[in-house]
Amino acid sequence: MSRRLASTIAIAALAALLAPTPATGGDAEAGKTPFASFCSSCHGMGGKGDGPVGAALQPPPRDFTQGDFKFDTDDDGKAGTDVDLKNVITNGAGAYGGSMLMAPWGAMLSPEDVENIIAYIRSLKP
């Protein structure tokens, strides 16, 4: 392999590693406010599934501090990716065989709000 080809491959690999990904698209601090408005009544502000409404729900709301997610909405073999969280937030868990009590918020939240909420949810796992 020529030195030039090796350099080109190395630069391409480095560029791929540094490219922004959906996982880094949201702002956790900005997600705190819409999370408080739309999610905390069930999930609790700290994301433990202990919100005032959540205490009465069966099944109980997900505890985001565990970082364990159930749905693989895009069938990529990985549950709980940002795409999966976006789909559940937007369309509700019932759309993926989960609890109908997890409401679809797509009509109420902007795509940016959803990305920020996902970043906030990710920040809750210690």
Residue at 12: amino acid letter: A
Q: How much is the pLDDT for 100?
A: 95
115 pLDDT tier (thresholds 50, 70, 90): very high
Which residue segments constitute the domains of the chain, with CATH numbers given? 26-123 (1.10.760.10)
Average pLDDT on 54-75 reads 95
DSSP character string of 20-47: --GGGSS-HHHHHHHHHHHTHHHH-TTS
In the predicted model, what is the mean pLDDT of residues 46-54? 96
Q: What is the pLDDT of residue 28?
A: 97
* DSSP state letters, 85-116: HHHHHHH-GGGGTS-TTS---TTTS-HHHHHH
pLDDT, greater one: 15 or 46: 46
Element spanning 64, H or E: none
Residue 25: per-residue pLDDT: 81
Residue 19 DSSP one-character state: S
The SS3 of residue 73 is coil
pLDDT digits (tens, 9 = 90+) for 65-94: 999 999 999 999 999 999 999 999 999 999
pLDDT at 22 over 60: no
| CA 37, 58, 48, 102 torsion-angle sign | negative
d(CA 126, CA 121): 11
Question: What rounded mean pLDDT belongs to the chain?
Answer: 87
